[in-house]
C-alpha cells in the first residue's frame, strides 16, 4: 500500500471541513428521517416485532463486515494514476462477495431461527440477505466518492436510502405486514441509494473480473476486515444475549432504548471515521498528533451535549416520541448514552491506528474485550436490559481508556494535552447538565419537560462554550467560512470531477 500523502495543510483543512459539513448534513437529515419513521413504526408495531427485526439485523451486521473484504477502504489509498484499475478490481470482487453473502444468509437463516426459537426469523433473514448483493453494486462508487471527500454525492445517496426505506416501511406496516414491512423497506432503500450513487459518480465498470493489485488491496483491506468483524461482534453481543436469554420483547425495548443514542451519538463515530480516514491518510505522520487532538476536541463538543440531554431527558423523550408502552426502556437508554459517548470519542484513536499501518492494535484490543464482555454478559444478562446496558458501558469505558493511552503514546501526546482537548467541551456540558437536571425535577409532564429542556439545555451549553471553549468555536467558524467562501483576496477554486468521481 502507498504511504499517506502530505497534502497542503490549508487545502486539506478546508476539504475536510467541507467533507464533514456534507457528511454531518447527510447524517442529520438522514437520522431525522429515520427518527420520524421509527416514531411512527413504534406506534404501529409491538416490542416483539422490533425484537425480531433486531435479531435479523444483528446477523446481517456480522456478515456485512466482510461484504468486500476491505477493498473499498484500500481503494481510498490508491495512487492517483491507478485509481481506475483499482476501482475495477474492487467492483468485480465486491459483487462476487455480495452474491456469496446473499446465498450464505439464505443458508443460515433456518439455523438462526432455531437458535432463537423464532420460526418467522428464517424467512425474514433470507429475504434481507438480498441486501448484500444490492449494496455491492454501489460500494465501489461510494468508496470513490469518499476518497475524493465528495460527501455531497454520498449525502444524496444516503438520504435517498432513508427516505425510501422510511416511506415503504411505514406504508407496509400500516397495511398490516408487521416485521416484513421493515425488511422490504431496507431492500427498497438500498436499491434507490445504489441508483443515486451510480448517477453521481461517473465510474462505469467493465463486465469482467480483474485481479490487478488484488493481492495488495486484499492484504490491507483484509486486516481492516478482521478488525471490523471483531468490532461488530463486540457491538452486537448484547443483542445476541438479550434475544437468546430474555426474548424478543425485551430486545425490542432495548433496541428502542438504544435507538436515540445510536442515531444521535454512536453513528457520529461512523460519520467521523468516514471523513477522518481519508483526511488522515493525506497527512504526514508528524502532523497526526495535532489532527488527533483537534478531532478529539470537536467530537467531544458535538457528542457531550447530546449525551447529557438524552440522559437527563430520557423519560420525556421516550414517552413523547414513542409512547408509554416503551417506558421500561428509559433506564437502559440513560446508561447507553454513556456507552455511546465512549465509543464515539474512541474513533480518532482507531483511525490513527489504521492510517499508520497498525490496525493490528485494534485486534489486540478487540479480542480480550470480546472475551471479557462475553463473560460479563453471561453472568448479568439474565438480570434484565438495564444490567446489559451497564455491562456494555462499563466494559467499553475500561478498554477505551487503554486505547487512548496507546494512541497518545504513539503520537507522543501527553495526558495534559488530552485533558486540555476535552476540558472545554466537558466544562460546557457540565454547565448544561446542572440547570437541565433541576428542570427535570420540577417539570414532570413529558411534552413540556422536553420542550423546556431543549431550550434550557441549548442555552446553557451555548453559554458554556462561550465561557470555556470560545477559541474552538471561533476556529471552527473560520474554517467553515474559508471552505465556503473565497474571501476578499482569494477566488474559489473548484476541483474538476474526473471519470472516477475524484
Express each pLDDT in 109-134 by its tens digit.
Answer: 898 888 877 888 888 888 988 988 99
Residue 272: predicted pLDDT: 59
Radius of gyration of the chain (CA): 22
Region 305-314: mean pLDDT is 95
pLDDT given for residue 68 in this prediction: 59
Q: Model confidence at 25, in pLDDT bands (50, 70, 90)?
A: low
> What is the pLDDT, as a whole number, of residue 414?
84
Contacts of residue 386, Cβ cutoff 8 Å, sequence gap at least 6: 331, 332, 335
Closest CA to 160 of 177, 143, 133, 142: 142
What's the whole-number mean pLDDT along residues 313-330? 92
- Residue 179 in contact with residue 45, Cβ under 8 Å? yes
- DSSP-assigned letter for residue 119: T
Q: Which of 60-69, 301-310, 464-473 has the highest mean pLDDT?
A: 301-310
Question: 432 and 308 in contact (C-beta within 8 Å)?
Answer: yes
Looking at every residue in the chain, the average pLDDT score rounds to 79
Q: Which pLDDT value is given to residue 225?
A: 65
On the question of pLDDT at 226 being above 70, the answer is no
- What are the phi and psi torsion angles at 157 (to 5°)? -65, -45
Least confident range from 48-57, 71-80, 214-223, 397-406: namely 214-223
Q: Given this model, what pLDDT does residue 441 score?
A: 94
Model confidence band, residue 2 (pLDDT cutoffs 50, 70, 90): very low
Q: Residue 408's pLDDT is what?
A: 82
Q: Taking CA 381 as the corner, what is the angle to CA 308 and CA 328, rounded to the nearest 5 degrees?
A: 50
- The terminus-to-terminus CA distance of the chain in angstroms comes to 19
Q: Enumerate residues 6+ apart whose C-beta is below 8 A from 373.
A: 234, 237, 391, 392, 395
Cα torsion through 366, 369, 370, 376, rounded to 10: -170
pLDDT for 502 equals 31
213 torsion bin: left (phi>0), alpha (psi -120 to 50), beta (else): left
- Over 80: is that where the pLDDT of 269 sits? no
Amino acid at each position: 500500500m502507498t504511504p499517506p500523502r502530505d497534502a497542503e495543510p490549508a487545502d486539506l483543512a478546508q476539504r475536510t471541513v467541507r467533507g464533514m459539513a456534507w457528511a454531518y448534513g447527510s447524517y442529520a437529515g438522514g437520522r431525522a428521517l429515520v427518527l420520524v419513521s421509527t416514531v411512527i413504526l413504534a406506534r404501529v408495531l409491538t416490542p416483539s416485532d422490533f425484537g425480531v427485526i433486531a435479531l435479523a439485523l444483528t446477523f446481517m451486521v456480522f456478515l456485512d463486515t466482510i461484504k468486500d473484504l476491505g477493498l473499498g477502504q484500500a481503494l481510498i489509498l490508491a495512487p492517483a494514476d491507478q485509481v481506475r484499475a483499482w476501482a475495477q478490481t474492487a467492483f468485480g470482487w465486491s459483487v462476487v462477495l455480495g452474491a456469496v453473502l446473499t446465498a450464505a444468509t439464505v443458508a443460515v437463516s433456518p439455523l438462526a431461527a432455531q437458535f432463537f426459537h423464532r420460526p418467522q426469523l428464517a424467512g425474514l433473514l433470507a429475504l434481507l440477505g438480498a441486501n448484500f448483493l444490492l449494496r455491492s453494486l454501489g460500494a465501489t462508487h461510494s468508496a470513490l466518492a469518499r476518497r475524493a471527500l465528495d460527501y455531497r454525492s454520498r449525502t444524496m445517496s444516503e438520504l435517498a436510502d432513508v427516505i425510501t426505506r422510511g416511506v415503504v416501511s411505514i406504508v407496509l406496516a400500516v397495511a398490516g405486514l408487521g416485521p416484513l414491512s421493515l425488511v422490504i423497506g431496507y431492500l427498497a432503500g438500498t436499491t434507490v441509494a445504489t441508483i443515486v450513487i451510480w448517477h453521481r459518480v461517473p465510474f462505469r465498470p467493465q463486465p469482467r473480473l480483474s485481479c490487478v493489485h488484488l493481492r495488495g488491496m486484499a492484504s490491507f483491506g483484509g486486516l481492516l476486515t478482521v478488525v471490523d468483524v471483531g468490532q461488530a461482534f463486540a457491538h452486537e453481543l448484547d443483542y445476541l444475549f438479550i434475544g437468546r436469554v430474555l426474548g424478543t420483547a425485551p430486545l425490542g425495548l432495548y433496541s428502542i432504548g438504544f435507538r436515540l443514542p445510536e442515531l444521535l451519538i454512536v453513528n457520529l463515530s461512523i460519520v467521523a471515521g468516514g471523513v477522518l480516514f481519508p483526511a488522515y491518510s493525506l497527512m504526514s505522520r508528524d502532523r497526526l498528533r495535532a489532527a488527533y487532538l483537534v478531532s478529539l476536541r470537536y467530537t467531544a463538543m458535538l457528542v457531550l451535549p447530546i449525551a447529557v440531554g438524552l440522559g437527563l431527558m430520557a423519560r420525556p423523550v421516550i414517552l413523547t416520541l414513542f409512547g408509554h408502552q416503551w417506558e421500561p426502556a428509559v433506564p437502559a437508554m440513560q446508561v447507553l448514552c454513556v456507552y455511546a459517548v465512549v465509543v464515539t470519542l474512541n474513533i480518532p484513536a482507531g483511525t490513527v491506528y489504521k492510517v499508520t499501518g497498525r490496525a493490528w492494535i485494534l485486534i489486540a484490543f478487540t479480542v480480550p474485550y470480546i472475551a471479557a464482555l462475553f463473560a460479563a454478559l453471561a453472568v448479568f444478562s439474565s438480570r434484565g436490559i438495564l444490567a446489559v446496558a451497564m455491562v456494555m458501558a462499563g466494559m467499553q469505558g475500561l478498554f477505551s481508556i487503554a486505547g487512548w493511552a496507546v494512541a497518545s503514546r504513539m503520537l507522543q501526546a501527553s495526558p495534559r494535552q488530552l485533558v486540555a482537548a476535552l476540558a472545554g467541551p466537558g466544562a460546557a456540558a457540565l454547565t448544561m447538565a446542572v440547570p437541565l437536571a433541576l428542570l427535570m425535577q420540577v417539570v414532570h409532564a413529558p411534552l413540556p419537560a422536553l420542550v423546556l429542556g431543549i431550550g434550557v439545555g441549548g442555552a446553557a451549553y451555548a453559554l458554556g462554550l462561550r465561557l470555556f471553549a470560545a477559541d474552538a468555536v471561533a476556529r471552527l467558524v473560520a474554517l467553515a467560512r474559508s471552505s465556503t467562501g473565497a474571501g476578499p483576496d482569494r477566488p474559489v477554486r473548484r476541483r474538476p470531477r474526473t471519470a472516477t468521481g475524484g
